[in-house]
Amino acid sequence: MWGTLFNTAMIIGGTAIGAAFKRGIGDKFHTILMQAMGLAVLVLGANTAIQAMPHSKYPVLFLASLALGAVIGQALDLEARFDGLMHRRHAQSQLASGLATAILLFCIGTLSIVGPMQAALNRDYTFLFTNGTLDFITAIVLASTFGLGIMLAAPVLFTWQGSIYLLTLLLRGTISSALITELSVVGGVLIFASGVNLLGLTKISTLNLLPALAVPPVFFILMHFF
Residue 220: pLDDT over 80: yes
Residue 46: which H helix or E strand, with range? helix 27-52
Q: How far apart, in whole angstroms, are the C-alpha atoms of residue 130 and residue 135? A: 9
Q: Which of 159, 143, 126 is nearest to 11 (CA)?
A: 143
What is the distance between the alpha carbons of residues 102 and 56, in angstroms, rounded to a whole number? 36
| pLDDT tens digits for range 6-15 | 999 999 999 9
Q: At a CB cut-off of 8 Å and minimum separation 6, what does 145 contact?
A: 18, 24, 98
Q: What is the mean pLDDT of the chain?
A: 84
Q: What is the pLDDT of residues 19-59, one digit of tens each?
A: 887 666 667 777 787 788 788 888 888 988 998 899 999 98
pLDDT of 116 higher than 60: yes
* Alpha carbons within 13 A on the beta-carbon side of 50: 7
- pLDDT tens digits for range 63-101: 999 999 999 999 998 878 876 765 665 555 566 666 766
Determine the structural domain holding residue 218 and report its residue range: 2-225
Long-range contacts of 18-24 (CB under 8 A, 24+ apart): 18/139, 18/140, 18/141, 18/142, 18/143, 18/144, 18/145, 18/150, 19/143, 19/144, 19/147, 19/148, 19/150, 21/140, 21/144, 22/144, 23/144, 24/141, 24/144, 24/145
Asked whether the whole model's pTM tops 0.85, one would answer no
Give percent of the chain with pLDDT exceeding 90. Answer: 30
Q: pLDDT tens digits for 142-162?
A: 888 778 888 989 999 999 999
- Residue 225: the pLDDT is 79
End-to-end Cα spacing for the chain: 36
How high is the pLDDT of residue 147?
Answer: 81
Nearest partner of 131 among 68, 87, 195, judged by Cα: 195
- DSSP label at residue 175: -
State how many domains the chain has.
1
Amino acid (one-letter) located at 181: T
Q: Is 163 helix (H, G, I), strand (E, B) or coil?
A: helix
